[in-house]
């Protein structure tokens, strides 16, 4: 039913990890319906510059093994996925993505406790500057992105993403929450989107 030649890179959100609900759901989905080797679930470093370097390295590793690769990015991971889609020519699915997180993070300067490890990370102005450097203020390749939004996101204003990604294919649901309720039920749609795109290993459209 599903293609065995498509790799998936999942990028988690701020202070999250591969232990998050969506990441664990994805892990079970790939184990049950595809192959665990098709899914990469890296733990992203706290610093944005290091996080994007880690994500790009994982992406290239997947591209060496699979004909096609796509990204699923949630929240801040959606921000990183947007950058990679625009810069590296890879398709991406954005789940309640963060828009202009450097503005939001002004309120989080100082110590922040990781939700899963309990580790305390110090958010600095340098981190915010790194996020600004990764920003895509306008989407040049909307066809590469699939947007998933739920309107009752309690963390982010969904209207910001609806505006930025207005030319992208999108799935908008009323209600829900920041985690995106029933996310795993959308996997057939996400895999169909990835399979339709012609971006393959070594073929950036830039």
Task: Catalogue all structural domains in the chain, each as residue range(s) with its CATH number.
Answer: 8-196 (3.40.50.1820)
Q: What percent of the chain has pLDDT over 70?
A: 95
Mean of per-residue pLDDT scores for the chain:
92
pLDDT band at 199 (very low <50, low <70, confident <90, very high): very low
Encode pLDDT of 108-139 as tens digits.
Answer: 999 999 888 889 999 999 999 999 999 999 99
Place of tokens 């290993």: 201
Encode pLDDT of 135-168 as tens digits.
Answer: 999 999 999 999 999 999 999 999 999 999 999 9
Encode pLDDT of 68-107 as tens digits.
Answer: 999 999 999 999 999 999 999 999 999 999 999 999 998 8
Among 195, 95, 80, 82, which Cα is nearest to 140's?
Answer: 82
Q: Are 69 and 62 in contact (CB under 8 A)?
A: yes
Res 115: pLDDT: 86
Res 201: pLDDT: 36
Res 99: pLDDT: 97
Q: What is the pTM of this model?
A: 0.93
């Amino acid at each position: 039913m599903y293609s065995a030649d498509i790799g998936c890179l999942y990028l988690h959100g701020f202070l999250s990890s591969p232990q998050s609900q969506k990441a664990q759901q994805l892990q079970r989905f790939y184990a049950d319906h595809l192959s665990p080797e098709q899914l990469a679930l890296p733990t992203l470093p706290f610093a944005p510059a290091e996080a994007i370097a880690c994500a790009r390295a994982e992406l290239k590793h997947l591209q060496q093994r699979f004909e096609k690769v796509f990204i699923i990015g949630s929240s801040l991971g959606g921000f990183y996925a947007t950058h990679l889609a625009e810069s590296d020519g890879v398709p991406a699915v954005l789940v309640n993505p963060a828009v202009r997180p450097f503005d939001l993070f002004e309120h989080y300067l100082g110590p922040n406790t990781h939700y899963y490890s309990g580790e305390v990370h110090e958010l600095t102005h340098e981190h915010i500057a790194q996020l600004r450097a990764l920003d895509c203020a306008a989407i040049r390749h909307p066809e590469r992105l699939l947007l998933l939004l739920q309107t009752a996101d309690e963390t982010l204003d969904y209207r910001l993403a609806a505006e930025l990604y207005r030319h992208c294919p999108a799935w908008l649901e009323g209600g829900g929450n920041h985690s995106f309720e029933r996310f795993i039920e959308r996997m057939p749609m996400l895999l169909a989107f990835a399979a339709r795109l012609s971006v393959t290993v070594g073929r950036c459209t830039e």
